[in-house]
Amino acid sequence: MADQADFDEQLAEFEGVIADLSEATDLADREYLAWALLSRGDALYRVGRRKEALVSFEEVVTRLGNDPEVELRLRVATALSYRVTALTALKRPEDAIAVCDQLLDRFADDPDPGFASHVSFALVEKGIALTKLERDEEAVEALTEAITRFRDASESRLEGHVASALYNLEIALRRLGRHEEAVGAIDEYVALIGSSEDPDMPDRVAASLDAKGEHLAALGRSDEALAAFQEVATRYGDTGDPRLRARVARALLHAIVSLWRSDRDEQALDTCDDLLARFGDDDEPAVRISVVGALVRKGAILALGGRPDEAAPIFEQITSLQTDDGSRLLLHFEPDEAERLERAFAALSESEADAGTASNTDGLLTFEDASGNLHGIEVVDFRRIEIDLSAFD
């Protein structure tokens, strides 16, 4: 109650200033009016009253948007930036883009250095909003402009905007299949933020290096891809941070996929064993996904390599127990992997059928455990396979 009373008192103070200065002509009074409007909007935003905050920020633009004084024009730029933030929080990307354009139309070419952070912010937020709408070509244009204009800036805020632009540029380029450019964006991003002390940066660096490996694999540069995946494990393999452990597991899984698709089966098996040794007992859901992916591929590689006796226990490991909630994991595979999995499951089913311990009926590969219980992997199709998560309970 005390907090609410303090907030109400603060809001009333802002309202009083706004009412008193609504007809102000003196520069100092107009600046104070702008401060009160922005402060009211910020206070409303912080307590979740975002629509009301939008109105307050818009009042700054309506009342003072045509004022020629630099200090007031900076207040208007701030109000527009705050509107973008509020619209983004409200999940209104089209409206956020429109306000970004409004800010850029007013201030993109202003020579005063005070506007640079607002312009860079608008370009980056426009690009991010466009990626959310999957308007990737337009996103690349906005993000590239932010990078080109501000990559040499030394101010920390501008560096942060450039880093965000590079990070999101990779996302848009990935969807467009422009892998070479994406690798360049990642290299610049990692070089820019690699020494940052921000606690979130290691997670972003790990994600970016993993993405770099995927782009290089798509370009057929498998050795460079493997080096990128391995760099994630080298940098962060000893961490206790659950987010980074998931990143390392995912990077090793991507290395397995790349090796298997390149017919380097023994290296793929070695990497499977590395991943399983590191994370086989990890109960983090984000890590489990990679563990299951590694087990599926290890079993398939062994089955296709004429080693069904070694492959069968791998799949039994995945499907051996039942979860209380019946939870299942849906794995997706690219067409070439799906074709290999289909052949592997067929080979394993044939082998197990000969031994009288397994069958492949109606899309369900089943195994009999030592107690005579049957467990299975449901094959939706060979690009989508559902697996019970029971092996990790």
Measured CA to CA in angstroms, residue 244 lies from 229, 321, 377 at distances of 13, 28, 29
pLDDT at 196 over 90: no
pLDDT at 360 over 70: no
**Where does the pLDDT of residue 376 fall: very low under 50, low under 70, confident under 90, or very high at 90 and above?**
low
> What does the pLDDT look like over 339-355, one tens digit per residue?
888 888 788 777 654 54
| Nearest by Cα to 117 from 79, 155, 145 | 155
- Strand partners for 377: 365
* Cα–Cα distance, 359 to 345 (Å, whole number): 10
**CATH architecture for segment(s) 1-90:** Alpha Horseshoe (1.25)
pTM across the whole model? 0.83
Q: Which residue has the tokens 């005070």?
A: 114
Instruction: List, by residue range, all CATH 1.25.40 domains of the chain.
Output: 1-90
Looking at per-residue confidence, does 216 or 363 come out higher?
A: 216
> What does the pLDDT look like over 59-70, one tens digit per residue?
999 999 888 999
> What does the pLDDT look like over 6-61, one tens digit per residue?
787 888 888 888 888 888 788 899 999 999 999 999 999 999 999 999 999 999 99
The percentage of residues in the chain with a pLDDT greater than 90, rounded to a whole number, is 62
pLDDT at position 154: 87
CA angle in degrees (0–180, nearest 5) for 272-278-281:
100
The 3-class secondary structure across the chain, one letter per residue, is CHHHHHHHHHHHHHHHHHHHCCCCCCHHHHHHHHHHHHHHHHHHHHCCCHHHHHHHHHHHHHHHCCCCCHHHHHHHHHHHHHHHHHHHHCCCHHHHHHHHHHHHHHHCCCCCHHHHHHHHHHHHHHHHHHHHCCCHHHHHHHHHHHHHHHCCCCCHHHHHHHHHHHHHHHHHHHHHCCHHHHHHHHHHHHHHHCCCCCCCHHHHHHHHHHHHHHHHHHCCCHHHHHHHHHHHHHHHCCCCCHHHHHHHHHHHHHHHHHHHHCCCHHHHHHHHHHHHHHHCCCCCHHHHHHHHHHHHHHHHHHHHCCCHHHHHHHHHHHHCCCCCCCCEEEEECCHHHHHHHHHHHHHHHHHHHHHCCEEEECCEEEEECCCCCEEEEEEEECCEEEEECHHHC
* Cα–Cα distance, 321 to 389 (Å, whole number): 8
> What does the pLDDT look like over 86-121, one tens digit per residue?
999 999 999 999 999 999 999 999 999 999 999 999
The percentage of residues in the chain with a pLDDT greater than 70, rounded to a whole number, is 85
pLDDT at position 3: 78
Region 315-331 average pLDDT: 56
pLDDT at position 177: 96
pLDDT at 324 over 70: no
pLDDT at 208 over 90: yes
Average pLDDT, the chain: 86
> What does the pLDDT look like over 252-291, one tens digit per residue?
999 999 999 999 999 999 999 999 999 988 888 888 889 8
pLDDT at position 336: 84
